[in-house]
Amino acid sequence: DAKTTQPNSMESNEEEPVHLPCNHSTISGTDYIHWYRQLPSQGPEYVIHGLTSNVNNRMASLAIAEDRKSSTLILHRATLRDAAVYYCILRELRDSNYQLIWGAGTKLIIKP
């Protein structure tokens, strides 16, 4: 199974950009890169996903390395409400169906 590696925790200041790194050196050509976040006492929340090209949405941007072995989730202006655990996940093709393989995530701490 392809795996992802993320730092256990990161700190950032409020209203500054945040770059959350993820390594996935064993990614295969059909694996999608997904990011989710989980706020305290809530279910995981979808943030963004991509395959090869960089992606932008209202929540964040996803920068994917050219060799796809790493990616970075970018929060352009962090707020206190962005404090959460951020999961970088590969959606892998298994037996003709895609599944998410979860890791431990990065706990993002936002300092006011």
Partner 1 sequence: DAGVIQSPRHEVTEMGQEVTLRCKPISGHNSLFWYRQTMMRGLELLIYFNNNVPIDDSGMPEDRFSAKMPNASFSTLKIQPSEPRDSAVYFCASSPDRVGGYTFGSGTRLTVV
CB of 56 or CB of 98, closer to partner 1: 98
Q: How far is the CB of 82 from partner 1 (least distance, A)?
A: 18
Q: Does 107 participate in binding partner 1 (rule CB under 8 A)?
A: no
In the DSSP assignment, the letter for residue 59 is S
CA nearest to 107, candidates 14, 6, 2 = 6
21 is a site residue for partner 1 (CB under 8 A) = no
106-111 and 9-13 beta bridge pairing = parallel
39 binds partner 1 (CB under 8 A): no
**Residue among 14 and 102 whose Cβ is closer to partner 1:** 102
DSSP SS3 for 23? strand
